[in-house]
Structure 1
Amino acid sequence: MGKSGTGGIERLEQQFFALLRSGLWNKAIDVTLFEGEVAWRNLLEMGQKQTVLGVLADGIEKLPVAYRPPLSEIRWLQMQVVAMKRHYVLLNHTLKEISKDLRTAGIHAVLLKGQGVAQYYRYPEQRQCGDIDLYVSSEEYVQACNVVRNYGIATGEESENRAHCHFSRNQVIVEVHRLVTYSDDPFMDCKLQGIVNRYFQNTLSYKVLAETDIWLPPINFNAFYLFFHLVKHFIMEGVGLRQICDWALFLHVHQREIDKKQLLDDVRSVGMLKLWKIFGCIAVNYIGLPMEEFPGFQSVAEKRVRRVINLIFYVGNFGHYTPQNGTRPANYYKGKLYSFHKRYWWKRQIMPLCPMLIGRWTFFSLFHSIKVVLLHR
């Protein structure tokens, strides 16, 4: 959806971003955008698909009562917000308990993403949260997995891959990472691990989550990592606006602490400068981050930015809402073929944005997928 569509779609998008910016930055809304009939159900569905419904709820509260949604929509929204708050409390409780167990075992884990960036929102409990991601050193990885395995009650499937162990405990997903991040492209991965090692070798540069003793990554690394992580998901299957909001808020809060030259050098070293500029335009022109707070801001052709915005709205958070997705077959090989077709379609949509980077990414990801299928793991 975008400016190439009908006037109704343009207005709907304007309303959506007005509410989003208001909720993020605590700013007044242009109420003239909400005069006349408003497609509230469509707006709320957009917020749900982009996992920013809690932020929209805050924006809606800033509208005069006469401009707000009908009572039925308000009640539905309130139910969603209550569920978010409950899950937020559950995640915080689980995080504190697991962190305590890890420290008792002599392991000090680093919290990645999630609750670590929720603190930058006006109302952290209204950020739609997902799981808990903890990074530990390779020497402590097996022991850390055992600590989490012995915590609580298993409430879902649990598995392990080359990067992390995936647990479902007390209705909360917990992932223990031995790698902060990685790439299937061995050349990019070499650069990535170099960046990780440079930042993580000095524990004095770690930060601490407010009102806890839980470690957070170094600020400059997080500015890079939040971007890399959202781009990684964007290239793989699609990404929601929540990840861009996380990143924009982080850049805003830590604008004076970030070494902008080093950050841009890190982005350039992994070949993502083109996408940095595109997502920077989205962060500034759509999300509302002040231009001077974005490192190395440069305007990009609006056609390219609109392409990304349209795709984000089309597929939703992590590509879960792609209309032609259908249901993944239960059969192992048919399921893999389904995933291949889905990702091949997606790569065709995004390839023109950065052909060299996305082309390499696609090649090495395909090679890895074939290896997984042949080895059946």
Structure 2
Amino acid sequence: MSQFNTLTKSESYLLELLASSINDCHFDKFRDNELTDEEWGDLIKTASWQGVAAIICSQIERLPQSQLPSRTQTINLIGLKISQQKRYNKQKNIASAFANALRSEGVKMYILKGFAYSSYYEDPSLRTCGDCDCFLVDVYNNLAFAKGNTIAQLFQANIDYEHYKHSHIQIHGLMIENHEFLTDFRSTRQGKITERLLRDLLIKEEGAKLFDTDMMKPNDYFNLLFLVRHAHGDFIDGGITLRMLYDLAVMLKKIECKINWSDFYQDLSICKLSDFFNLIVGICVKYFGLSLSTVPDTYKETALIDEVFYDTIRGGLHIKGKETLPQKTLRILKRFKRMWHYRNLATEKYPVMIWNSFAFSSYIHRKVSI
């Protein structure tokens, strides 16, 4: 437990609950070290904005009476879980209806992240899903981006095209991001290499239907590499979350024996993501107690593992609430500082990252191609 020495008691408790969920073991680490009501409040607050509150609730429901939080905190947690599950099921039903309409027109709806990653959970409804990201192809595996936008109009959807990577389709309160490109590759040489590789991997091996719907789950190899690429982008820009690390841990538990690790590390190298993958796997091993049998042991103990973990659990540079112009300016300057600090983990040179921050900002509607 030495790795928890500089964590608060509520943070330590939170990690142990997540670890017990990942490893499917009974939670009893803190039997003689109950939290105060204030510490439970801190734990629930952290779990909520880290996207793991419903997971925590399911683990707490397994605790003996003596270890439960106060009645108020318990009710609060159960409420968060029930709300999460209702939201998940509503989102799934809306996305499924859209997928069904697409399928009837010969279009396959591959789900990126979200519902696809939830399928690796013991209870998929515990995973928080914001937008529904998808990539559409026809029966010949040609991009069906434009056709998807046309079909969405049958749902009286609001559609906008503010970002080159995807369109935004609003259907009954669910934001569906229809991807023309899998990544925000910003027209760089390395970005195009990664984009093409991911696209090839997605269609190389057809996935499976998700939850007996017409939504498609991409193959496991693609899902893992795409998770790493997406987490890396978030990490460089501002930081990752415990939910992303939990996604990685439960995914690896389910698929590690199915992955050709020689090929995977070769593809990581092509994408310049090897060091980052080793880093986040190392975090899962150290802080979640993740045990792996086939993944190459390249996640060595380093100070960077601790540094990035603490950056994650303390919130990184994520936006918290509405920002004033001075607050936004300060955050952008901190992001540039962050990019410099973690430049050895980046896939682009520092000047390129700075330039792209302006050239591909939300205020400039760039058109790109691969």
TM-score by length of 2: 0.87
Which of 309, 327, 331 in structure 1 is aligned with 2:322?
A: 327
SS at 1:28 equivalent: coil
SS at 1:255 equivalent: helix
Which of 325, 333, 338 in structure 2 is aligned with 1:344?
A: 333
CA distance in 2, matches of 1:171, 1:52: 22
CA distance in 2, matches of 1:118, 1:344: 35
Offset from partner CA, 1:118-145 (integer Å, 9 cap, x none)? 1221221121221211102474211101
Partner in structure 1 of residue 91 of structure 2: 91
Partner in structure 1 of residue 222 of structure 2: 221
Aligned pairs for 1:149-188 (under 5 A) are: 149-151=153-155, 154=158, 158-184=160-186, 186-188=188-190
CA distance in 1, matches of 2:127, 2:199: 30
Deviation at 1:159, TM superposition (A): 4.2
Aligned pairs for 1:114-125 (under 5 A) are: 114-125=114-125
Offset from partner CA, 1:301-360 (integer Å, 9 cap, x none)? 1x21111111112226x8134xxxx7334xxxx5xx85453133134246444x244383
How many aligned residue pairs are there?
Answer: 358
Partner in structure 1 of residue 18 of structure 2: 20
Aligned pairs for 1:202-351 (under 5 A) are: 202=204, 204-301=205-302, 303-315=303-315, 319-321=318-320, 327-329=322-324, 334=325, 339=328, 341-349=330-338, 351=340
Q: 1:10 to 1:135 in 2, by over 3 A?
A: same
Aligned pairs for 1:27-46 (under 5 A) are: 27-32=25-30, 35-38=33-36, 39-46=39-46
Percent sequence identity over aligned pairs? 18
Deviation larger for 215-224 or 33-42: 33-42
Offset from partner CA, 1:74-113 (integer Å, 9 cap, x none)? 1111111111011111111011100011112221121111
Which of 338, 343, 352 in structure 2 is aligned with 1:364?
A: 352
SS at 1:315 equivalent: coil
More helix by share: 1
Structure 1 unaligned runs (5+)?
none
CA distance in 1, matches of 2:32, 2:173: 39
CA distance in 1, matches of 2:161, 2:353: 20
1:182–1:192 Cα contact (<8 Å) kept: no
1:14–1:33 Cα contact (<8 Å) kept: no
Aligned pairs for 1:54-133 (under 5 A) are: 54-133=54-133
Which of 151, 154, 159 in structure 2 is aligned with 1:147?
A: 151
Offset from partner CA, 1:232-278 (integer Å, 9 cap, x none)? 11111212111111122112111221111111111111222221121
Partner in structure 1 of residue 368 of structure 2: none
CA RMSD between the two structures: 2.7
Deviation at 1:227, TM superposition (A): 1.1
2:271–2:347 Cα contact (<8 Å) kept: no
1:42 alignment partner AA: D
1:185–1:361 Cα contact (<8 Å) kept: no
Q: 1:63 to 1:328 in 2, by over 3 A?
A: same
Superposition misfits of 4+ residues, deviation over 4 angstroms: 2-6, 337-340, 372-376
Q: 1:106 to 1:296 in 2, by over 3 A?
A: same
